[in-house]
Amino acid sequence: MSQTPILPLGAKPFVDFSTILRANRFAVAPEQTQTFIEAVCLLGPKSMADIYRSARATLAPDVDRIDEFDALYRLHFLGHSLAGAETDGDDDEISARDERDGAMDPPDAEDENEAGAEAASAEALSLRQFAPLGEAEVLRRFRRVARSRLPRRQSYRRAPASKGDAWNIRRTLRDAVRRDGEILVLPKLKRKSRQRRILLLIDISGSMKAQTDATLRFAHALASASDRLEIFTLGTRLTRISRVMRFRNQDLALATAGTVVADWDGGTRLGDALQAFLGIPRFKGFARGALVVVVSDGLERGDPSAMIQAVADMSRLAWSILWLSPLAADRDFSPETAALKAVLPFIDRFADGGSIESLCTHILNAERSVA
């Protein structure tokens, strides 16, 4: 008979905190608890502030319930009382309130997920099924040409070449030994080139619902053609789907992604998700020297300062930032939200991302647009 594995004592406080959040009607998935523990390990932690930042980034509390989340954190980890938390009804229960309609229950996902509407604040956890798409031919052409047209950079390694920028001393000496000291030619070396890393950040919030299927199919095609690609989804949470997008079968890859990602068509917290990405050193390294492609309408419901700071920090790491928005399909479109206006100076190019064809075109021309 198999025995139930014993939870390490060091991990118990963090698992208990997730249990307390669930008891107070916070949506916390088991994999979030695991990511929370891993984030704490990555940060050290050196202080209680590191534990708090890990909890905010990985457990992703709703922006309207930050005060309640902080109160429960102080209660569990610092031993404080719940006096600072806003409660409604019984003193022992913390409940969420939707300020827009005055109702106690959060709005249904069906009401929040109308495509092209304002950014949603509610988190909706669900599975997603992908319908067949009629732009398969565009993706097939993209796969054929992508390997030769994706952005490249010079490597530090060198290779023999007829016209190079350095002498191949090793080969010169080897040929001289073979010819009794005579040197007939002076072989040269040049630096190799390799594909530049691509970081694809996909907004899967309710306002992007109409574009999600097409964007995920494009991401799978890009994964099959790219040697160095990282893919993350952004909504109310940050989820890495690079590995599942490597499956050769598109339907299998999308079906697996539909189970891995929990916050399909939910709220929009781009700033928090980007801050979480930059807060994990391993993920932050993915952006260094990379082509960062953000597929999002930029409708941020949270504090825009978090999104502005995150994009500014990422611009200092990345080779280029390409922001593709379905709203930009209209030639007369100009950003109106405070967050999107503020991040435009840190973006190398803001363009249309409303179709698979436009996504493919902008990725293939990324190096030319930067040059």
Domains of the chain, with CATH numbers?
A: 12-106 (no CATH), 136-148+196-370 (3.40.50.410), 155-194 (no CATH)
Contacts of 29 (CB under 8 A, 6+ apart): 125, 262
Contacts of 292 (CB under 8 A, 6+ apart): 199, 201, 314, 318, 320, 321, 322
- Does 366 score more than 70 pLDDT? yes
Higher local confidence (pLDDT), 286 or 164: 286
If you average pLDDT over residues 99-111, what whole number do you get?
Answer: 39
Mean pLDDT of the chain: 80
Structure pTM? 0.61
Start-to-end CA distance of the chain, whole Å, equals 64
Q: Which residue blocks in 261-353 are alpha helix, DSSP H?
A: 270-279, 281-287, 304-317, 338-343
Residue 49: what residue type?
A
The answer to whether 137 and 281 have CB atoms below 8 angstroms apart is no
Higher local confidence (pLDDT), 223 or 125: 223
Task: Return the pLDDT at 369.
Answer: 63
- Does 132 score more than 60 pLDDT? no
Kindly report which listed range (55-64, 128-137, 167-176, 358-367) carries the lowest average pLDDT score. Answer: 128-137
Task: With residue 90 as reference, give the H or E element that holds it.
Answer: none
Higher local confidence (pLDDT), 79 or 321: 321
Distance CA 318, CA 290 (A): 5
Higher local confidence (pLDDT), 336 or 123: 336
Nearest to 322 by CA among 291, 281, 355, 285: 291
Question: Tens digit of pLDDT for each residue in 221-278?
Answer: 999 999 899 999 998 889 999 999 999 898 889 989 988 898 888 877 888 889 999 9
